[in-house]
Chains A and B, each alone.
Chain A
Amino acid sequence: MSEYTLPLPVMTTLSKEYWDGCKAERLLYQHCRNCDEVIFFPKYLCPNCMSHDLEWLQSSGRGKILTFTVTYESAPPAFYAAVPYAVAIIELEEGFRMMSNLVECDFEELECEMPVEVVFDAVTDEVTLPKFRPAAK
């Protein structure tokens, strides 16, 4: 594997559980057993009812593009060589939102509400980034 130079996610006891899921190609989100709240980004306590009774569930990885931008210039320094690239907010069908990159697509054809599906990009031995491509028709 060639050396990966882009920023890697900060690992905390909480985020590591999520990223371990990605490494196993499982897109995880939290669910509150007490109030049924769907939770993402992962939290230490339920943002709805303050319960600690949270469980991890696996997402289908299917969702839609809420919004996106294709960066051509003025990227963060680490991403100078990566332009152009597409960043998006994805709304998953389970009802949570995440940020990701849009890949395997023609940037000109991207639009809001477009259905997308997760693909897993193992960027290092330790980190696999979930990314999204237009859903198979």
Chain B
Amino acid sequence: MEIFVQQFINALALGGTYALLALGLAMVFSVLGLINFAHGELMTITGYAMFFAIAAGIPFPIAVILGIAAATLAAILMERIAFRPVRDANTATMLLTSFAVSTILHMLFQNLISARPKAIPVPDWMIGAINLGGLSIGVIQVMSITATTLLLLALTVFLRRSILGIAMRAASLDFPVTRLMGINANAVIATAFGISGLLAGVAGVLWLAQRGSVDPLMGFLPVLKAFIAVVLGGLGSLPGAVLGGFVLAFIEVSLRAFLPDDWLPFRESITLTLVIILLLVRPEGLLGRKDAVR
């Protein structure tokens, strides 16, 4: 029972990180029809911003804020510099642009900083665990679950209450008609990128707290997972992206915890096989619309 609860919390914490990343991908996709493959680099930018901030003697909590701000700003700049000029081109052009942005950033990280991992010293209190009725829960896990919950709540309020939030939901269905409402297309798209950057920044901090270092390719794996989560949840559905992130994390954590030792090397393949089976049963994803065609 105890190990079960422990693993459940692990899965929630990991699922939160995937959910934040997947939600960022899904927000940009829903307004632009673009899967932004440079999304992972936003996490990496958070990492380097924190690395340099800490190296400059800035306290850890402020470095965290700077790291998140850096990812948000980078996402907005990415849209302005790379994606806006090709917005009216076809989807393949935008997709290739996102690969280019990703590759250029890799090169910059490698050549201007280092190809080797840079350590990010995490404060001691974050490495510890909290004792909760006999259960020891990692501080990082608690922070991860709390941050995810708060962000998802704030985002829900934003999407339900504010005009810009309602406009973003409208734009995910019908962009031209959203503009007919007098909604500025650039504002909607820039906001989507800004939020995706913010979420990637927070996910980056949570990811870094576990790893303790940043390297040029840091963002690749988690964003690949987030992409799987988005497809699993239903491309274009924001709640779907969140659900997909949690489902993926639960599958991964269960396999890691309960699979026999000699099966462990295959756990990624087993995870992906399960995802494929889910998609065979529901090709539109868990919460996707049947008629969703882009």
A associates with B: no
A residues adjacent to B (C-beta < 8 A): none
